[in-house]
Structure 1
């Protein structure tokens, strides 16, 4: 059993049943492994949640790095839309799992600070860039709860409008 499969099982439980249902036994059962197999990778529930937080940050950073040129905010928008379109909307599940534990949420808070501050002062219109970044957060949050809300055509229209906000003034 791979580490990612165990994290997937934990995220599925969080999405389907909420944080009260996240136990090591439940994750092992969902993943189809023994509790010992799970403990080999994650020796506690906190280590499991920490693994989910770390993976979420790493995945989004990779999405950012894979976006073509443009400003930081343009890449942030592209990465957000890629996350929404992929259906791998883990942020809500991870935050649910880590809620109530500031130590476990700290890396995600640090990443959010970085994602929302990085390059903002270098943007042609920092206020428009901040609006787009905040819209991305709203899009991701709503899509986490209702993945069927926006069709691909809706997402293309939202992307066009948000990119229009980032267009350099003539």
Structure 2
């Protein structure tokens, strides 16, 4: 029988609580008091870890950027080696084969926190910008021609944005057609 997992540390409880608040009520609903109450810690306990609302949002973004980088690297590692490995990983992610695919809880949480940070102070998004810049650089160095690589990047980003903002929804047939087109583009690339 497995031993129960240890309870999360205070910092993790605070970050989890802040993410839940942002998802439910947006950045305006996030205060140090509400995060402390939701995490079950005193305001002083929260201030020990995060001296301001900006530091709390920054902590959420740092954690989410590390999660996204780790998840993406894992997705790439699961793809066959060779040209197009990063592009195949992006397609797998965008079409629901990974835990961070559109519609998944981790990605929805990431989207909510990024939107909150952008609303509060766009500079707070720098950790996420660094991860996405690294992913783009990996994609462009993957051996796939730049035009095809950028078409895959832009398409998968578009799927994410459509999901985040509820702009439109593809039918299963439309998703299958889009995926087939991206895969064909990747395979046909010289």
Normalising to structure 2: TM-score of the pair? 0.72
For residue 113 of structure 1, what is the aligned residue in structure 2? 133
Tell me the matched-pair count.
170
Q: CA deviation at 1:25?
A: 0.8
For residue 39 of structure 1, what is the aligned residue in structure 2? 47
Contact kept? 1:63, 1:79, Cα under 8 Å: no
SS at match of 1:43: coil
Q: Rg larger in 1 or in 2?
A: 2
Q: CA deviation at 1:102?
A: 4.2
Normalising to structure 1: TM-score of the pair? 0.79
- The runs of 5 or more residues in structure 1 that have no matched partner are none
Q: Indicate whether 1:163 and 2:177 are aligned.
A: no
Q: CA RMSD in A?
A: 2.9
Q: CA deviation at 1:24?
A: 0.8
- What are the residue-to-residue correspondences of 1:12-161 with 2, within 5 Å? 12-67=20-75, 68-70=78-80, 71-80=85-94, 81=96, 82=98, 83=100, 84=102, 86-88=104-106, 89-99=108-118, 100-146=120-166, 149=169, 158-161=178-181
2: CA distance, partners of 1:169 / 1:151: 27
1: CA distance, partners of 2:57 / 2:93: 23
Contact kept? 1:10, 1:22, Cα under 8 Å: yes
User: Structure 1 pair 132/119, CA: closer, same or farther in 2 (3 Å)?
Assistant: closer
- The runs of 5 or more residues in structure 2 that have no matched partner are 1-7
Q: CA deviation at 1:130?
A: 1.1
Contact kept? 1:60, 1:79, Cα under 8 Å: no
